Structure formats: structure tokens, C-alpha cells
Amino acid sequence: ARFYTRVSERLRHKSRALTPWDYERLVLQRFAAIYKAKCLPAAAAKGPGAVDVLVIPDLRAQLPADAFAPRASADLLAEVQAHLEEVAPASARIVVRNPHYVAVSVRLGVRFHAGEDVRRASERLGDDLSRFLSPWAYDEGAELTIGGRIYASSILDFVDRRDYVDYVAEIRLARSENGVDFTVLPPTDEDYHVAAERPDQVLVAARRHHIDVIRERDYQQTSFTGIDYLKVELDFIIG
């Protein structure tokens, strides 16, 4: 079946790069080290003939420095670009590059079940959040999506199903372009989420998340709201 698929695809693009689909398939067919290729829509600001191709290396083929944000080497990018320039129209101005990774940090107000060690449970929850946000870093069969959104509701549902969590009271999401300076996104009444703001962005788990443990039996919302709670750098237990 794979043989017929490859033959069909070759007949479709005839080893020439004319459409975005052609660029993507030609990269994947030629380079086993590439897991995903995406040809971005032409941007008017870049002028006619501009072709912007994102590539993501296959984690199974190499061990990237950062499994959360895999990046192709400069040599591999150059090889891919040279190949595409051979099969593209002479007027095409091709740029092959890595996507831009945006770190997503989660802050939660959580009560753990009685008997759970608070620090261990917090660390476990932090690790589980990273697995949920960046599954490809842990499971070679998991999908890595370019663009998209991560909804707070999906995170809450995931956390609520952890067997060591009693309940979740609050959630805040923050994003960072450089993995260091985070911007907290104020919650909304509906569809609270963090989104890729450009077509070349990939949302990934931040290096750490922030777990505020609810120790009282009765949850006090005022303790987890207001401007102080929105500041990511305040006291927390690192997950």
C-alpha cells in the first residue's frame, strides 16, 4: 500500500515543486530525517515567488538537543533547501527553516487527595502536564501540530482525571516566545485558551508549571484571584 501511495504522489507532483503540497511531499520523500514539512501560505510582504517551508526533524532518527522543540541542523536545512531549489521554478525564492516554538506554562490551584505527599504530587502533576502539552517528547507515535490552540477546558479535564487529584479550582495560562519571559493570559468567560499567533508557531510545554496547593478543606477563591495570583513569579511549588 505504501508503494502505491508513493507512486501516486510522484505522479501527482512529477518530481516538480509547484504547489505547497508538492514542496511538502518532495521533502518527506527525499529526507528520512524529516518528520513533518509544511509550506506556509505566501505572504504578500515577502513578494512574488517567496516560498517558506518549515521542517521538523524525526525524533526517532536523531536525538535533538531539545525533544520538546526539535530543530533540524543548519546542514540539514541547507540540504533540503538545495534539493527544493533543484525542482522548483527558477522564480521561486525558497527559505527552509525550523518552526518558532512558543512555550506554554500552566498555573493551577489544586487540592490533592488525602494521604498524597504534596511535593511529590506537585512534581508528578507538572510532569503529567508536560506530557499532555508535548506528547511527542515522550511518545514517538504522538503528533506534533504546527499552529493550533490549547484550551484550558481540555487541560482541566486532563488534570481532573488524575487519580491523585481531588479537584482543580483555578487555572491560568501563560505564553513565552523565548522560554524565559512569560505573558499571562487573563481568563475569559468562554473558550479560555492559548493560541499560535503566527502560522509558523508550535505550542510546547514550558520547562516548568506552577502548582498552588489548596490545603484547606474549604476552597477560598479570593486566595487565588487578583493581580498577585496572575504573577507567575510569586511563591509556588514547582511541578
Distance CA 226, CA 219 (A): 16
What pLDDT does 235 receive? 36
pLDDT at 59: 80
Q: What is the pLDDT of residue 158?
A: 98
| pLDDT at residue 60, rounded to an integer | 72
Give residue 106's pLDDT. Answer: 97
**Predicted pLDDT of residue 226:** 46
**pLDDT on residue 225:** 53
All residues at 6 or more sequence positions from 149 whose CB lies less than 8 Å from its CB, including other chains: 193, 194, 195, 196, 203
Q: For residues 45 and 200, what is the distance between their CA atoms, to the nearest angstrom?
A: 15
Its pTM stands at 0.82
Per the CB < 8 A criterion, the answer to whether 209 and 105 are in contact is yes
Predicted pLDDT of residue 39? 94
pLDDT at 48: 78
**Average pLDDT per consecutive 10 residues, the chain (239 residues; last block may be shorter):** 48 68 95 94 71 90 77 96 94 94 96 95 98 91 91 96 94 93 87 95 96 77 49 38
> Looking up cell 482543580, which residue turns up?
168
Burial class (CB in 10 A: 0-12, 13-18, 19+), 73: middle
Tell me the domain boundaries of the chain.
2-97, 100-238
Phi, psi of 21 (to 5 degrees): -60, -40
Find the Cα–Cα–Cα–Cα dihedral 33, 177, 223, 191, rounded to 10°: -70
